Amino acid sequence: MSGTPQAQAAPAASRSSAAGQLPVTLVLSREVKPGHEQAFEEVLHRLAAEVRRQPGHLAVAVLTPAPGTRRIYTIVSHFASQPDVDAWLSDPARARLVAEAGLHASGDLTTRYVSGLEGWLAVPGSPVLVPPARWRIVVISAVGILPLLEAVTYLLAPRLTALPVWARPLISVLILIPLMQYVVMPPLSRAARGFLYPARE
């Protein structure tokens, strides 16, 4: 297997995200004993299959080590909110699979959390979740939000004339932010890997 993320989108976000909570990315990393790679990968993919069924789950990626590097495996799970993450962390099925994975591991389980847009911009295959340079995030965010802003302005402006001036941007923001987080950023961040991480690419 290569170090390329294997991502699969899940159903729509849970009701908790609609309440204004930021999505959360949960990153689990663990080093594997020599010769146990295949068994560990099998457990890891069962863990990914289980998390896809969880309420509030958005997407998951299994990151395998590149040849010649340390045997560190990473699973990156995106959730709609922190309560959704907490529910998954307390799930008995998860506990059983993590314990089974531990039989093949040579190190402790490392857990990290990232909130907001940076959670979609993880370095592929890296045992540490490292966001790209801030100016690159600004550029990619602008590329994503500009067409959305144009479309929302064109479609909504004639319908918002009856509202107070201060309320019109509020309506646009309530539409733009969820679209950016759940619709635009996942495919855009994958398409822009070469720009976000030129040294690694």
167 CB neighbour count, 10 Å cutoff? 11
107 with 163, same domain: the answer is no
* The pLDDT value given to residue 125: 44
d(CA 112, CA 133): 19
Residue 128 lies in a domain: no
User: Is the per-residue pLDDT at 149 higher than 80?
Assistant: yes
d(CA 54, CA 170): 31
Q: Which of 72, 89, 120 is the last residue of a domain?
A: 120
d(CA 110, CA 27): 8
* The pLDDT value given to residue 174: 82
Residue 72 corresponds to which tokens in the numbers above?
């560190």
Residue 191 corresponds to which tokens in the numbers above?
């398409």
User: Is the per-residue pLDDT at 201 higher than 70?
Assistant: no
Question: Which residue did the predictor score with more confidence, 147 or 173?
Answer: 147
Q: Are strands 24-31 and 57-63 parallel, antiparallel or unpaired?
A: unpaired
What is the mean predicted confidence (pLDDT) over 183-195?
A: 79
d(CA 100, CA 78): 22
CATH number of the domain at 90, please: 3.30.70.100
114 with 141, same domain: the answer is no
Amino acid at site 103: L
90 with 19, same domain: the answer is yes
Domain count within the chain: 2
Domain that holds residue 80: 8-120
- The confidence band for 197, taking pLDDT boundaries of 50, 70 and 90, is low
What is the mean predicted confidence (pLDDT) over 58-79?
A: 82
164 CB neighbour count, 10 Å cutoff? 8
Highest mean pLDDT of the ranges 5-14, 58-67, 112-121, 146-155: 146-155
What is the mean predicted confidence (pLDDT) over 32-37?
A: 92
Taking CB atoms within 8 Å and a gap of at least 24, the contacts of 47-54 are 47/75, 47/94, 47/97, 47/98, 47/101, 48/75, 48/77, 50/91, 50/93, 50/94, 50/97, 51/75, 51/77, 51/88, 51/94, 52/8, 52/10, 54/79, 54/84, 54/87, 54/88, 54/91
Nearest to 44 by CA among 56, 29, 24, 66: 29
Q: What percent of the chain has pLDDT over 90?
A: 20
Residue 77 lies in a domain: yes
* The pLDDT value given to residue 97: 92
111 with 158, same domain: the answer is no
* The pLDDT value given to residue 42: 92
Residue 67 lies in a domain: yes
Residue 1 lies in a domain: no
- Using a cut of 0.75, tell me whether the model's pTM lies above it: no
